[in-house]
């Protein structure tokens, strides 16, 4: 069985005091954040529960038979949060959660996640960091990660692609984020092949080397965690980086600080390993939203032109031909 420890840095500002977290998802209303957080937790627990259920019935509508089916994966989830500024009270009736509280700056929550990983070294196959507004929908997610490391070893990092859903309430498009990273947050270029591949059910799956470590989530192996623990900036950010104006919340997201070459699924198979940024906020900003609309409108017109409605009713399939 694949064993996973997931840590979720979570913050919701309840007080008027300046927390340094007044932008992004922390500017949303409580109801919206709660819906998103519940959704992300539910999706993650469904992926990590070691059992699924098969429903059936002897020719009836009612599902009278319920059979548990093992899925070969299991894990634990820990929410890492500020003591006063969180949504745990609203969640308490919905799901049993393990929580660890942080008394310092909320922008350092990611480093507490690392420390929890370090205390659990040797107990899990994979260690997952994932933001509280980011969801894993693919039940094969960790099996795909395991296949990558079996094929290519642990001296490389595999990152998921992050996407949002852009469009009207009844129609959406996937829009993938994060590439390329800003120059300040780009990891150093490391030696390694520019492209890797895995066999897939409809052909080879390709991965491209990247210097962008931001995905809203990362997954590392136990061996990679042990290596990372020996780096000087594992427990706290590099003071020089903070002095240069880099955000600890973003610094903490690049696995191993970019010490290993990083790979993402290539553009021809972006969805092989992906996570959903549930608020869909970035694609709704003025500039990308306008550019996306300008690209989408001609595509819609082309589809409407190509679709010709029938000018007469279809033949009655119940009548035999003459």
Mean pLDDT of 205-234: 94
Note the pTM of the prediction, 2 decimals.
0.88
pLDDT for the residue 24 = 47
- What is d(CA 167, CA 149) in angstroms, rounded to the nearest whole number? 36
Which of 59-63, 153-157, 208-212 has the weakest average pLDDT?
A: 59-63
Mean pLDDT of 238-256: 84
pLDDT (tens digit per residue) in 144-167: 999 999 999 999 999 999 999 998
pLDDT for the residue 243 = 80
pLDDT for the residue 94 = 59
Tokens 């492209």 locate to: 195
- Quickly state the pLDDT bin for 249 (edges 50, 70, 90): confident
Task: Look at residues 250, 15, 215, 16 and name the one whose alpha carbon lies nearest to residue 111.
Answer: 250
- Quickly state the pLDDT bin for 193 (edges 50, 70, 90): very high
pLDDT (tens digit per residue) in 90-121: 886 656 679 999 888 898 999 999 999 999 99
- Classify residue 176 by burial, with Cβ atoms within 10 Å: 0-12, 13-18, 19+: middle
- Quickly state the pLDDT bin for 36 (edges 50, 70, 90): very high
Torsional sign, CA 263, 268, 273, 276: positive
Average pLDDT, the chain: 87
List Cβ neighbours of 130 (8 Å cut-off, separation of 6 or more): 6, 7, 8, 40, 44, 136, 216, 217, 275
Q: HSE of 46 in the Cβ direction (CA atoms, 13 Å)?
A: 12
- What is d(CA 45, CA 75) in angstroms, rounded to the nearest whole number? 9
**Residue 255, SS3 per DSSP:** helix
* Pairing assessment for the beta strands 73-82 and 98-102 based on DSSP bridges: parallel
């Amino acid at each position: 069985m694949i064993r996973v420890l997931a840590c979720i840095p979570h913050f919701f500002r309840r007080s008027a005091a300046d927390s340094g977290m007044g932008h992004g998802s922390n500017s949303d209303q409580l109801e919206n954040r709660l819906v998103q957080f519940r959704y992300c937790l539910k999706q993650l627990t469904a992926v990590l529960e070691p059992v699924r259920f098969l429903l059936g019935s002897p020719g009836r509508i009612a599902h009278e038979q319920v059979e548990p089916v093992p899925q070969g994966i299991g894990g634990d989830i820990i929410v890492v949060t500020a003591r006063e500024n969180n949504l745990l009270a609203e969640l308490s009736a919905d799901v049993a959660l393990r929580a660890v509280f942080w008394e310092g700056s909320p922008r350092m929550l990611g480093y507490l996640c690392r420390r929890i990983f370090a205390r659990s070294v040797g107990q899990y196959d994979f260690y997952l960091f994932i933001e509280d507004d980011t969801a894993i929908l693919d039940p094969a997610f960790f099996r795909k990660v395991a296949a990558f490391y079996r094929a290519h070893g642990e001296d490389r990092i595999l990152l998921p692609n992050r996407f949002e859903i852009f469009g009207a309430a009844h129609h959406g498009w996937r829009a993938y984020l994060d590439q390329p990273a800003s120059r300040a947050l780009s990891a150093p270029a490391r030696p390694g092949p520019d492209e890797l591949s895995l066999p897939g059910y409809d052909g080879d799956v390709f991965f491209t080397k990247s210097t962008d470590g931001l995905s809203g989530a990362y997954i590392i192996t136990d061996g990679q965690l042990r290596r990372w623990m020996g780096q000087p900036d594992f427990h706290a950010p590099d003071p020089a980086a903070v002095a240069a104006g880099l955000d600890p919340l973003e610094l903490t997201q690049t696995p191993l600080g970019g010490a290993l070459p990083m790979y993402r699924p290539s553009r021809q198979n972006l969805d092989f390993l992906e996570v959903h940024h549930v608020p869909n906020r970035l694609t709704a900003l003025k500039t990308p939203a306008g550019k996306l609309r300008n690209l989408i409108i001609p595509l819609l017109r082309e589809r409407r032109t190509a679709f010709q409605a029938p000018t007469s009713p279809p033949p009655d399939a119940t009548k035999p031909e003459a």
